[in-house]
Amino acid sequence: MSAALEPTGAVITGGASGIGLAVAKELGARGVRLVLADLPGERLDAAVAALASAGCDAIAMGCDVADLAQVEALAEAAFAALERVDLVFNNAGVGGPRGRLWEVDPAAARAHYDINFWGVWHGCRAFAPRLIAQGSRSAIYNTGSENSLFCTMPHSAAYISAKHAVLGLTENLREDLPDHVHAGLVIPGWVHTAIGPDANMRHGMAADRFAAIIVPQMLACERFVVAHAYNTVRIHERIDSLDAAFAAHAPRYAGDDEFDVRTVVARLMAERKR
């Protein structure tokens, strides 16, 4: 775990509702100045008005995260408005096209990736170099999902694969960042948001309850930010199957790191320095 974060300014995409708005409430109550980014319109304006009525310092910025130019413009405007950005929460996302993989229109799947994967990529691309240059302690958090770790339901290949990709993106981003910029993954389980039909979503954890659990973890700069205990059961279903496969077909042996990429690269680099 890295050093704690004490943010004065935060940017939240997908901030007009659901997890984004709930996290904004938690941060705003701590005195953090907020930029809420979402598609422009009444919902975004209403979210900022509600925060203001609760005594939070928040401004609205319209942004389609699927468009890199708009995300770059968001970053420029956010730094200008807040002067210092300490926390970026790439949270915007939508529910994916449903159906068996071979029945889903590839164009619909690509459009889904434009938001749920490339939207996160754009946020990291736009904000990471600015946070690095800023030089102070800061963090980028991306919203993954329990679907980054296992499959919660069938007929959801676009959504689940995009969330798996966000996990990989975030893990690799951390490798590229300097020590003063942290990267972590928020892993929601079932949370009551508007990402799916309310008849289904209302059975999930309340967004405000979820935010109250995860914000302290974000401020503590945890690598993985979690809230749904039963997720571990599903995770271990996959891990146990992997362990069984390796035990049966690729058991450990003395010197078995001979083909481990990190081990071999580290050895080669050490040899070059001699």
| Structure confidence by residue, pLDDT tens digits, 195-240 | 888 898 999 999 999 999 999 999 999 999 999 999 999 999 999 9
Q: Same domain, yes or no, for 135 and 194?
A: yes
Note the pLDDT of residue 196. Answer: 87
68's CB contacts (< 8 A; 6+ apart) are: 118, 122, 125, 126
- Across 40-56, average pLDDT: 97
Note the pLDDT of residue 274. Answer: 80
Q: Same domain, yes or no, for 158 and 174?
A: yes
| Residue 58 and residue 48 in contact, taking contact as beta carbons nearer than 8 Å | yes
Q: Same domain, yes or no, for 204 and 266?
A: no
Q: Same domain, yes or no, for 238 and 219?
A: no
91's CB contacts (< 8 A; 6+ apart) are: 12, 13, 14, 15, 19, 20, 23, 141, 142, 143, 186
**What does the alpha-carbon distance between residue 90 and residue 106 come to, in Å, rounded to a whole number?**
25
Q: Same domain, yes or no, for 162 and 188?
A: yes
pLDDT tens for 156-170 read 999 999 999 999 999
Percent of the chain with pLDDT over 70: 99
- Across 53-82, average pLDDT: 98
Supply the residues annotated as catalytic.
159
CATH label of the domain that carries residue 21: 3.40.50.720
Q: Same domain, yes or no, for 113 and 184?
A: yes
In DSSP notation, 66-129 reads T-HHHHHHHHHHHHHHHS---EEEE----PPPPB-GGGS-HHHHHHHHHHHTHHHHHHHHHHHH
pTM, to two decimals: 0.95
The range of the structural domain enclosing residue 256 comes to: 231-274
Q: Same domain, yes or no, for 185 and 67?
A: yes
258's CB contacts (< 8 A; 6+ apart) are: 264
Query: 2 pLDDT band (50/70/90 cuts)?
Result: low
Residue 4 lies in a domain: no
pLDDT tens for 180-197 read 999 999 999 999 998 888
Q: Same domain, yes or no, for 222 and 240?
A: no
Q: Same domain, yes or no, for 41 and 171?
A: yes
**What does the alpha-carbon distance between residue 114 and residue 257 come to, in Å, rounded to a whole number?**
38
Residue 75 pLDDT exceeds 70: yes
Q: Which of 212, 228, 244 is the last residue of a domain?
A: 228
Q: Same domain, yes or no, for 84 and 100?
A: yes
Residue 1 pLDDT exceeds 70: no
More confident residue, 1 or 149: 149
